[in-house]
Structure formats: C-alpha cells, structure tokens
Structure 1
C-alpha cells in the first residue's frame, strides 16, 4: 500500500469518526452510549463503554467529576471490600498509587497517618488498594480516567426536563440540554443522583418511604422510637422556645407534624448534608466565617443538648490523609438538615439551588455556632477552633464541597424491586450484576415532638446483613413496557430500606460498570436491555473482574 493510499484511508476514517461523534447540525452530538451524569457511576460507566469498543459521551450537569466520591466522602463506606471488584477496585487501586508518592503527603508524614478505615484498613498494602482519601485526589483519578481513555465530557450541561427527551416506540432517541445541545445514542445511562433522565423519559419511580405493607418489610415507613444509631435525643429536651411551655412555640428545626403509626408510608426522605473536608494544619485551614444570615437561635436545640451533658461532637470527624477529615453527621443535632429536603427530588433546578443554599447556610452557621457561641462548652469551642475548612480543597467554591450529599431522591420502579428481604438474605436474588454489603443505613427523616412532649428524631435505621448480598440486573433496568434502551445504576429500583444499603459509592461504581457492559452488549445483539442474554452478560462481567457471588470474593 503506497503512502497516498494510506493517507486517503486515514482521512476517510477520520471523517467517519467525526461524523459519528458530531452530525452536521452543530448542536447535535451522537455516540453509541450517552451517559447522563458525571458521578462516580457515570465516569466508570463511560470507561467501561470505551473498554468495550463503543463510542460514548458523558453529559454532566456538574463541572467536577466523581460526585460524592470527589465531593468530600473520602471515608469510604466499604462494607465488605471483598465484593468490590472490577473498575471500582481499580479506582481504589489508583488512590493507593497516589498515596505511595512522597509528594502526596504535604501536610502530614505518611508514617503518622493512623490508617483507620471503615471495615478495612485505610491502606491495604496486600491488595494494593486505599479506601480513605482527600477529595482532590479522588477527582484527579476520575480526570485521569477521562484523559487516558479519551472520553468526551460535556460539563455544565443540564437536561431540559420538561420536554427534552425524545422517545420513539419505547426507546429514547435523544435528549436536549438547556444550552440547546442534542445528544443522540443507541443506549442511555442515567447516572445522576436525582434520576432526572429516567423521570423525563417517563419511567415510573417512587419518592419517599413505602409502607411496610407494600413489600412486606419491617424497617420501612415511619419508625418512631427505633434508635439503631446514636442520632437521637437521649435526654428529655423541651422543644419549646420557653422550656415546657407549648404556647411559646417550637424552636427552629422542629416540625409540628403528628406522628402516624409505625410502618406508615410517606413522602419523606432521609436527610442531606455536606461532607465537609476540614483541616487541622495551621497553614492549611480557613477559620469558620460568620454567615451573612447567621442566627444563633436556630441552634438553641443543640445548646440544650450540650446543657444536658452530651459530649460526642467529634465522633464523626473521620481522619483522612494530610490532617484532614471527612466530617459527617453525628448525634441528635448535627450537620444533617433534617426535614428540609423533601421537595428536592422533584424540584426545578432553581428550586434545588435554593434548597442546596439553605443546607449550606444551615451547616456553615452550625460550624460558626460551635466555634463561637458561649452556650457551647468551652472545651468544644477550643477544639473546634483547631479546625477550619481545608484551604487546598474545593478551591473554586470557597473551600466548600461542590456536591451536596443526595442520600436518596427518586427510585425507579423497574424490572425487579430490591427490598430489605434481598439485602438481609431472606431471598435468592436473580441475575446478579454486582454485590452490596453495607447495612440498611437510612438517616433521620424528621424531627418532631413525641407523645411525651419532648423533641425526638425519627427515621434512623441501621440493620446489618448476615453477609454480602447480590444486586439484580432487574434493579438497574426499567420494565420493558417503559423503556428498552435505558439503564439506571444510581436511582435503582429498590425500596427505601434496601436503598439505604445499596446507595454506597463503591456500589454505584460497580453498577455503573455493569450498566455500561449491558448497554454495549445490547447494541451488539440489537436487543432491548430487558432481552439481553444474562448468561452472556454474566460471563463478561466476571471476565472484567466483577464479583457476583460469595464464592468469588476477592482479598
């Protein structure tokens, strides 16, 4: 073959490739698989699509990739790490490689790091994985994935939710974003925490807690008086402005709703917060500022908790490398903004931004209160002032996490609904595409006045499975009558209680890989995702390192 012929073939190939990626219309983009959402699940899904030889585009409302994994949740909810395989494990392997570099330990000597993790050492040298990390380190791993595999990401692109999804004969043909861009594909993956593409495509879903009668569960619905973590009022704390006087009105952050019978379903969802990355290094911390709309009265309930002798303020200031923390909710009154997120799943983008801002104001005000208010014990104030937000994290957002912790939003009503019976091992789960292991973990859904006249939280659940459990393929696909070319690895088909276990970041990555694998194979077989041969899918998942059964567990 002469050089002229080779040049002609190269130019023709380039033209074909560009035509596949971008049709003649300047606002239209096309690929085999379109991933909506730049979360950890979304990036892993795109990576798997590329590894299977498919063209893929990631359309991300967010500018930063990785979702919560890069947004402050660095103290990974691993559960049993032996069932975390495939590309999820590759992510944690790359975190391990990052912290093998001497330059990664800027604010702390590696030898001084305590190596504490959840269910496993933070640094697992034998398995060459690391499970605890700083936000910027995680985000860099996701950016490296995108760069190495030449994945095109459209950032700050928001689905036009009202009428932006085009469907024909039960298939999504394309969707449009608010900027006017149109994305066409053979298969679509909704990897958002909210499930916006799924909802806009007309796939049924549920928001809130089902009644126990819905799926014959025990831990769903209202759970007043059930205390399975430490996030409740252990003392008799008056909810009223004037203690003991109902006529004085309720303190801020307490609902006046009446509690129905336990097991009753409702539209409430577990609380959100921000997983703050705080620093203890004097050269890398920014003191907690006084918010513009700061009102100490909204934290009076916490002052009463302190006055009653509570002393667990710092129990979830979990250490991550470089003298930083992944700071989570802990106790009866903490960073969870209980009861203020019910509207979020269905809210407009503008309404969601307002809800997120309210959460930010509440949490920043809480930190200022802890650091400065004389009603906070002096020893707590002294210790809290050893911390500040980490100066070298979230540098384009005032050192504040760019991702709120959406613990739960919409949940698809799909081909198979996972319930607590599946998680707790009371059923044999069919067609597994991954495994979970974390306990049923739902944060409080409301703060109310109990029948005894004192304040109490409700909704906190923590029931541990006997062993890791399978997650069904039917959990990430709609019913065939609803959509035949959509996969949903985050807002999966499950009850509220089951989702409390499934909702962990490693599991989202596992399901993202499985979703992309199924999408690629459905393209090859020219089939609906519901008609895909599970035996063939299972074989490919195992080939790529996914753990589907207990006997396949890793070290």
Structure 2
C-alpha cells in the first residue's frame, strides 16, 4: 500500500468512540499499531456514558482481556468485590478517558468522515470534514448505525429478513399484540374524535406475518434518575410541548385506573422497581437507570423512523425530539391525572441527577440506537446459531449470553380500527450462551480485505437482538484489533487468522495487564489513607 506525503498515516483507524470503538483502539495501541479514533461529537463512551447504566452482563466470566480490565477498574472505583454490571455514566466516562489517556491512541473529536477512497478490495484513506486526509492499513466501523459500512460502499442489510429466508421463528413482521403485555381486556381506540390517528400511531399494515421489511426496533433516550434530595433536580416540562400528543397514554392509563390492569403496587424485584410505567434499575450512589414501561413507553417507533439513513445534522434534530419527548414523558408520569395516584406519589420522589449530563440539562445526550446496518457476508449468524451455541472453538473470537430481545418496531391501528397494537417485539424466557465466529465482523474478502464491523455484525435481525449488548460489542472491538495485528505479523489475509489464535493472544497478553496510572494513583491514595487509619496517624494541619 502506498501513501501520499500529504496524508497522516496509521496502522489502525476506528470510526466512533463507542465502548466497542474505544476497546478496539486501546487494544490496537497496546499492540504497537499506530491508531486513530474518529468521533464526530464532543463525547466518548456511546450509550455507556449516556444513560445505559444497567449493562447487560449475565455472566462475567465471558468478559475478557482489555474489556475485563475496564470492568475491573470500575470495580475498584466502587470498592466492590465483584465485576459491576451497573455503572454510573460519569464513572464509565472517567474510566474510558483514563484508559485512553494511558494509551497512544490519537483521538479526533468533532471530526467526521466525509468520504473514503478505495483501491479495489482495500480502503486506502478517508477525508474528514476539515479536509484532513487520514490513511490507514486497517479500518473499523464501531458506529451503532453502520455508517462506515455505508461510506465504504459495502453490502449491508437494514431491517428484517422474511421468516422463510433462514427459517427463523421470530423473523419478519410479527403478529399484532396488545400495547400492554398482559391480558387487560381493554381496547384503546387509535383515533381522535375527528377520526384521525392519534400521535405516534401508524396506519394498519396488511403485510403478512413473516414478511420482510427495512424497519428496525424502536430507539429511546435512557434517562438516569435519582431520589437523593442532595443530588436531585426537579423534572420540568419542555417548553411549548403539546401534551395532547400523550392522549394514547391517557387512554391506556384509563384502563389501568378502572382496575382492568392492576398497578397499585410497585414491587422491588431484585434491585429493580417495576411498574406499568417504568423499570428502575438501582445504580450506585442513589441513582437509577430507567427502562421503558408499556403504559407510557420511552421506546418510540415513530421517532425512530429514518434515523439510520439520516444525515448527521438531521440526527441532531431527531435527538432533540427524543429529548423533548423523554422529558415530557417523565413529567407526564409524575403529574398527569390519568396516571394512578400511587404511581405519581412514588415517581414524584425522583428527579434528574445534578452530577450527570450537565451540558444537556441533565438528560442523556445520545439516542439509544439499538439496531442499524448489518454487514452482509457469505455467512450470516442466525437465530438457530444463537440457540445451538454458535461457533466452534477454532472459529470463535468471543462468547456472549443474552435473550433474543427486540423492542417494538411499530405501534399501529389493528385491522378493524378498534385497538392499538404493538408489532415486532419479542423476548425469550431463556438466555442463550453462544460463541461468535471471526467472520461475523468481516465483509466478504472480494468486497473488502481490511475492514471490520464490530457493532453492525453479519447477523440476521433476530440474532442481532441478542448480540447487540455493549459488553459483546466491546469484546468484538478488541478482537478486531488482535486479528489485524496477527494478520500483520503472519503476513496473511485476516480471514486466515484462526479464532482460537485471537483468544489465546487476548488471554496471554491482556488478562493481567497492569492497572493504568490514574488507577494506580487512586489505589495508592486509598492504601495511604487506610494505613493512616489503622496506625492512628493524621494529616498535618
């Protein structure tokens, strides 16, 4: 590969500073690959620093290498005896920043890729929006949307496969289901008094069950809340918001208030408060990660539509709409007379955390993009692969464990126009443990030979519903860097690298990596403090 003198040259270039992108960049840097990390915004950490605080780790033994190091540092930040699965955004941000500062990664923030240049089956360079040209030997798409897949003109899939394409039971358009996930016996009319559809409701679909489309599951903002008076900011409504848009939720609440759906108690199930209006997962320091409830959902299919194919500026507009919707919804649950009094009384104790998201009025800045473009390869990871344990040991680059999980794709009027239904949602009772193969992050060699997609993997919509967890994406990001390093060392195509060689190097090289300097200093200070405590010494005045 040849580079012009005007180009900045790298061995490994990562697009987007999501957790997966950060792990890919740090791993590559530690393998002595000159690494660039491109992030269009002024933030890093993706959803783990923007409200997705209840991290979906069902088995901590599956977290390895540099990814395990991240969770070990967080563990020590909290003085815990175990790897944490619930992490405050500001703590995740501090650890990500500390790990990047210890690395030799060159971070380009507020920079975006305008276009990429290719030479046959290899990407050569990219031009940023400030006209700077970066050349690299290896390229990684760590965006949630699969934007670099698109810029590189690689084949991808967006949306749902038909059920008969791969024989998956959850594929394609799903049967209509009630807005409430239990038998309420209560219909919610989709129409206003003038006969128009209510806000956020799509017209009836005549597409048959199991048919394919280009739709993705719904997105949301994932608010962080607190009930600690010393850190709580009251929830106020967004300016000029039309609460008439929530007539759908008022009608659902009416069914709950008439007793057709029990919602008097708000039980603490494990470490999560659950009701028809919210799931509140307890975090350290009196905070809670709020997930959606069915009576007033944070996940909004109508606000999601068009996100993946939108420009960066258009996404900013859409993110603003999500932010207004989310703040209004929190205020609605606390104050609207249609919400049961018990729910209002309980939820009224919560507010926004003063020590999080200060630049965005304490609402998380990033939209939770659960699904975007997915790479197309000759192999496609399917529902059956999830259920049967996945790849063999020789091919596997990491392991994962989660349910098959998809949020609603649509809220619609039913065929008779008498009820509002959800469509597209599925969640399996069982959580499956499975291995992911090396090819899941690689395009077809004829398409591109120096590219990895670590979030938009080569999987079906159904299988992706289990893979799409941040710790799994982080593992795949780190694996991509190791694969690139091994391909360089062995001077062979990356497709020839065995998966077991990746995991072997990961475990030998990174599992016992020394703690970063910022953490060593923190641990030293704790040790000094403890010594002084047990010895009776005090600091001098």
Verify same fold: TM over 0.5. Answer: yes
**Cα distance in structure 2, aligned partners of 1:479 and 1:528:** 12
Residues 253-290 of structure 1, C-alpha deviations (whole Å, 9 max, x = no match): 11113242211111111000011111111221222222
**Cα distance in structure 2, aligned partners of 1:221 and 1:231:** 23
On the 8 A contact 2:149/2:453 being kept in 1, the answer is yes
Q: 1:467 to 1:296 in 2, by over 3 A?
A: closer
On the 8 A contact 1:231/1:332 being kept in 2, the answer is no
Q: 1:78 to 1:466 in 2, by over 3 A?
A: closer
Give the gaps of 5 or more residues in structure 2.
264-274, 512-541
Q: CA deviation at 1:53?
A: 1.8
Give the TM-score of the pair, scaled to structure 2.
0.86
Give the gaps of 5 or more residues in structure 1.
1-19, 101-122, 547-555
Deviates more, 1:488-497 or 1:326-335: 326-335
Q: 1:420 to 1:48 in 2, by over 3 A?
A: same
Which of 54, 60, 76 aligns to 2:39? It is 60
2:220 aligned partner: 273
Q: 1:327 to 1:158 in 2, by over 3 A?
A: same
**Cα distance in structure 2, aligned partners of 1:228 and 1:308:** 12
Q: CA deviation at 1:142?
A: 0.4
1:551 aligned partner: none
**Cα distance in structure 2, aligned partners of 1:355 and 1:233:** 33
2:138 aligned partner: 187
Which of 100, 112, 133 aligns to 1:158? It is 112
1:345 aligned partner: 308
2:433 aligned partner: 468
**Cα distance in structure 1, aligned partners of 2:294 and 2:456:** 28
On the 8 A contact 1:230/1:332 being kept in 2, the answer is no
Question: What are the residue-to-residue correspondences of 1:102-501 with 2, within 5 Å?
Answer: 125=81, 128-160=82-114, 164-225=115-176, 230=181, 235-242=186-193, 248-309=195-256, 310=261, 311=263, 312-313=275-276, 315-425=278-388, 428-429=391-392, 431-452=395-416, 453-464=418-429, 467-501=432-466
Q: 1:232 to 1:508 in 2, by over 3 A?
A: farther
On the 8 A contact 2:201/2:411 being kept in 1, the answer is yes
Deviates more, 1:312-321 or 1:139-148: 312-321
Q: Secondary structure at the match of 2:372?
A: coil
On the 8 A contact 1:187/1:523 being kept in 2, the answer is no
Q: Secondary structure at the match of 1:49?
A: helix
**Cα distance in structure 1, aligned partners of 2:480 and 2:290:** 31
**Root mean square deviation of aligned Cα:** 2.3
On the 8 A contact 2:67/2:475 being kept in 1, the answer is yes
Deviates more, 1:499-508 or 1:517-526: 517-526
Q: 1:345 to 1:87 in 2, by over 3 A?
A: same
Residues 57-95 of structure 1, C-alpha deviations (whole Å, 9 max, x = no match): 111123221111111111111123322222222211111
1:4 aligned partner: none
Which of 77, 80, 83 aligns to 2:56? It is 77
Residues 317-338 of structure 1, C-alpha deviations (whole Å, 9 max, x = no match): 1111111111111214311112
Q: Secondary structure at the match of 2:195?
A: strand
On the 8 A contact 2:217/2:409 being kept in 1, the answer is yes
Q: 1:420 to 1:281 in 2, by over 3 A?
A: same
Q: CA deviation at 1:171?
A: 0.5
On the 8 A contact 1:229/1:461 being kept in 2, the answer is no
Give the TM-score of the pair, scaled to structure 1.
0.84
